[in-house]
Structure 1
Amino acid sequence: MRVWGRSWRRWSISAMCCYKPDETSRLIYRPRRHRKWKGTGRNSFAWTDYRDLAVRAHIQLGTPIILIWDNLNMHRTAGLRQLAADHDWLTVVQLPSYAPGLNPAEGVWALLRRGPLANVASADDEHLERTLRRGLSHIQRHPELVRADSCSS
């Protein structure tokens, strides 16, 4: 998502839809604002950001994790493969190519696009950040929105 204005800005959001038997589903997310000045700096998540998200999810949930990832090139890096090999609490499964219907996080993005971000013209990136966080917090407070069957529709 880009915000036009005084400079190039970009937001990246990574989210995990978490499911445990006999418990309510949960959404764990990490937004990141990127400021790109004359080609310096990254304008997307690095593999270390995904690593940190998986580690924080493991700590927060207190349980082993089966991480089901789409085929984003960053999800298939050697560093993330090594993370899974080094930790017995992490199992990584890759989704088949072009299978957004199997990825519950795609449902989260659809909820955001149809809800809080629909027809929003942000005056600045702080307004966009508040709108994003409010929408994601709403989804977190309503676990029925993160259910696997509701996200994949």
Structure 2
Amino acid sequence: MEAAERSVLGEESAVIAHDLRVSVRSVQRWRKAWSQGGPGALASKGPASLPLLSDELFAVLEQELDRGPVAHGWPDQTWTLSRIKTLIGRRFHKSYTVQGVAALMRRHGWSCQVPARRAVERDDAGVASWVKETWPNVEGPWRRSTPGSSSKTRPASR
């Protein structure tokens, strides 16, 4: 609306686009819509698409999530976005991306969780030993690059 109002006042499209951080083409489209249909032509038409899972279906998904991953065939009690995506596909025959699942869960008040405690089986002495003795061999020696050095090898000169 601001772009259209400023266009009516005679401001250049490039200046408006720069100030509003949009493309000049968008400002031109908005100006054309304003001139053909007035302010109503610029009103929001709502989201581009409806959510794949309605609130009723999301309530069913929450019940499925409450049953736990093991009940759905996974070996442990960890829900991941990928697993939730698979569950939605199996249960509702709807396809989400992993990012779409994350947005869906956030929209309904869910958040990412991390374990609050370490695994009971953790061996801190074994981890410290591995980091001290094994990891340096895996990591390899550090080499400084020098000006003009390259990771590519050149054929020997003739």
Q: TM-score band (shorter)?
A: under 0.3
Q: Highest CA radius of gyration, 1 or 2?
A: 2
TM-score (norm 2): 0.21
Give the TM-score of the pair, scaled to structure 1. Answer: 0.21
Return the structure number with greater relative CO, CA threshold 8 A, min gap 6: 1
Structure (1/2) with the larger helix percentage: 2
